[in-house]
Amino acid sequence: MFSRLTPRRCSQLFFLCLTLFIGWRFALWVLALSTGTLPTINRPPAVEAFLPLSGLMNLKFTLGTGAIHGAHPAALLLFLAVCVSAILVKKSFCSFVCPVGFAGEMAGRLGKRLSLARRLPKALDLPLRGIKYLLLSFFLWSILFKMPVPAVGGFLSSSYNLTSDIRMFHFFTEPSTGSLITLGLLLVLPLVIKNGWCRYLCPYGALLGLLSFLSPLKIHRNESACIHCGRCTRACPSSLAVDLSTLIFSDECTGCLSCVDACPEKEALRLSTSPDGAHWSPKLVALIMVCLFLLTAGAGRLSGNWKSHTPDRVLLMEVMKMKAADASPMGKESPQKAIRKEPAQ
């Protein structure tokens, strides 16, 4: 499956290993809280990369108040870093960094070997691609336009948001029916439909696709140097007709450079700012992505906006409340909801 360790593959493996390490540290931290003791291990702030909605809400709070909310500050910084990466080097986050995208890519390769992978006809592909934009529109409208800043601040300070990372952990360790369906779509869909999750259901990818239109970098094809072998189109994971275009201007282009890598003519395809511009190699893109996230973490630490400002003692109390609510006859229903349901005396 790893026939050749390209710069992109090395970048994917680096971020995958980093994600697994962060996940392991975070699991130890959550498990300590679950036993009713204060953790001796520090919570890794980078786990907040998996809280993009918290980052989006913090962005609105920051724009409205001029201050970064202290509940999950790293979520905001990492959300901004991902958005900036799309403006700089297209959707390279999806193809060079994202562990979900990497898992989907590997599942797609396995599906191809097992003769399971299929590409949907255009009549289905185009409307289904709109699902991720509908999901993105819902989140953007609900948070950026519908919720006033005080309401956003109230949510960010709420018990639910303070423990959103812990709830995310339980999403995987104590899966509900909805969790199992989501995980099934994440893992099984790319096995039978090429890039199924990323292409049709990921609202994060939809946002990056829109932002990538602002990137000065595009895939350019030199018609005079092209031998029309079609290798670029066959190599494109997004099924773009690279061999029929002189400029790839698409929200589905992830900047993975698979088409450039597959091209036998060095001057036929290039990632650049213009048809005659300098080549941006996979090594350079991988280096930019690694440096961007390392600089984001460094800037967060120096500014005091990396680690959560919520003490572990407070989170320990919240976890105990969650466990008490789960053990109550009401199940996972919150005591506040139960109180509201009681008839007035």
- Per-residue pLDDT of 266-315, as tens digits, reads 899 999 999 988 999 999 999 999 999 999 999 999 999 999 999 999 99
Percentage of residues of the chain with pLDDT beyond 70: 94
Q: List the structure tokens of 191.
A: 């096995």
**Domains and their CATH numbers in the chain:** 7-212+284-341 (no CATH), 218-279 (3.30.70.20)
Whole-angstrom distance, CA of residue 163 vs CA of residue 171: 12
- 81's CB contacts (< 8 A; 6+ apart) are 292, 293, 296
Q: From CA 320, how far away is CA 33, in angstroms rounded? A: 8
- 168/48 Cα distance (integer angstroms): 10
Any idea which of 80-94, 118-132, 139-153, 201-215 has the lowest mean pLDDT? 118-132
3-state DSSP call for residue 81? helix
pTM listed for this prediction: 0.90
Q: What is the C-alpha radius of gyration for the chain, rounded to an integer number of angstroms?
A: 22
Q: What average pLDDT score do residues 85-103 get?
A: 95
- Measured between alpha carbons, how far is 269 from 279 in angstroms, rounded to an integer? 9
Output the six-digit token pair for 247. Answer: 């400029």
For residue 32, the model assigns a pLDDT of 94
> 215 with 90: CB under 8 angstroms?
yes
pLDDT-derived band at 122 (thresholds 50, 70, 90) equals: confident
Question: Cα–Cα distance between 78 and 280 in angstroms, integer?
Answer: 24
343 has pLDDT over 50: no
What CA–CA distance (Å, rounded) separates 66 from 74?
16
Please state whether beta strands 247-248 and 269-272 pair in parallel, antiparallel, or not at all (unpaired). Answer: unpaired
22 vs 42, 50, 133, CA distance in Å? 11, 11, 30
